Chains A and B, each alone.
Chain A
């Protein structure tokens, strides 16, 4: 079967068949929009903060309203690590190892006083803040923080993801590589 020859009119920008289904945006904005609305947390529950994290995931507070309910207990499937609780030195390198296994892009939330700064544990046994080992995007205050605070923290992280420009950066790197 031979296709009919296309006239100049059918190649024009306007096509009534796809009207309303096309959005023009920046690639970065589209990627960020997809990333921020399906944050899969890696629940690193180490102490009482983990109880509040569980409450935040349950029906009363319901993390899934924001697309963050898919708690993955495998670091390979997670986007954001929620360090919820006291990081002891005995646990510290295990947390780091799990963080290292998470694929990029990845984010980290230090939930509560202990994960942020060691909290009330100024002692030989406690790491004085998880930011000594891994980069932290959002710190949540509280001992432990209420579920609303965790939701606020995750929404702050979404705001932060909105401002990222990974594609633009990749393009710059690519151009630099080509020039060099």
Chain B
């Protein structure tokens, strides 16, 4: 079964949850409804032989509704196909954990919780993985400043805002030439 056939099979099986799929340079992405995450992913592993969960990440589409989006990167070691599953998550909603499907999801979901503040239901050990327990912010959210915010947890850790020195210096993706794409100071007030 080719990758596009697998996507078609998924769309047929979950006709009400699979919203649409996109293809870009041979990469297939399937967008699904939030409630169908565990069922679709379990089907992917058991029936479509996606036995390897490469990564879990999340996006913060600040200003859009729903705000967050989960991204699951799947791979099959027997058929070498790569499938991306995306699902929009409303703010404050708990996502069903997929640790019962792929145990490796444990740390990936902890990272998503730590950086984005998306919580997972039925996760065996949902605590911060990069920052320390008690750090009060979710630093990869779009409304978190690049320089950071001050925090203090005695004997454990502290943070101070970093001096931006007329930065941040960011590239302009899609600008007309390399000069325009170079990192430049961009103030976001």
Q: Which positions in A face B, CB cutoff 8 Å?
A: 89-90, 92-93, 118, 121-126, 128, 132
Contacts and interface: CB of A to CB of B under 8 A. Distances in A.
A129 B26 CA distance: 45
A152 B139 CA distance: 39
B165 A92 contact: no
A124 B162 contact: yes
Given A90-B131, A90-B132, A118-B162, A124 B157 contact: no
Contacts of B158: 89, 92-93
B163 interface: yes
Given A90-B131, A90-B132, A122 B163 contact: yes
A123 to B, nearest CB: 6
A118 B167 CA distance: 15
Contacts of B163: 122, 128
B147 A92 contact: no
A110 to B, nearest CB: 17
B157 A125 contact: no
Given A92-B158, A93-B157, A122 B147 contact: yes
B146 A123 contact: yes
A126 B139 CA distance: 13
Given A122-B167, A124-B147, A125-B148, A89 B159 contact: yes
Nearest to B154: A93
Given A90-B131, A90-B132, A122 B157 contact: no
A174 to B, nearest CB: 36
Interface string B136-172: 0101000011111100000111111111110110000
Contacts of B161: 124
Q: Is the interface of B mostly helix, strand, loop or mixed?
A: loop
Given A122-B165, A124-B162, A128-B163, A93 B148 contact: no
A124 B155 contact: no
A19 B165 CA distance: 64
Nearest to B145: A124
Contacts of A92: 157-158
Contacts of A90: 130-132, 157
Nearest to B159: A89
A118 B165 CA distance: 13
Interface in B95-146: 130-132, 137, 139, 144-146
A124 B164 contact: no
A118 B148 CA distance: 14
Nearest to A118: B162
Contacts of B160: 128, 132
Given A89-B157, A93-B157, A126 B162 contact: yes
Contacts of B137: 124
B168 A124 contact: no
Contact of A122 (B144, B149, B168): B168
B99 to A, nearest CB: 24
A93 B156 contact: yes
A71 to B, nearest CB: 27
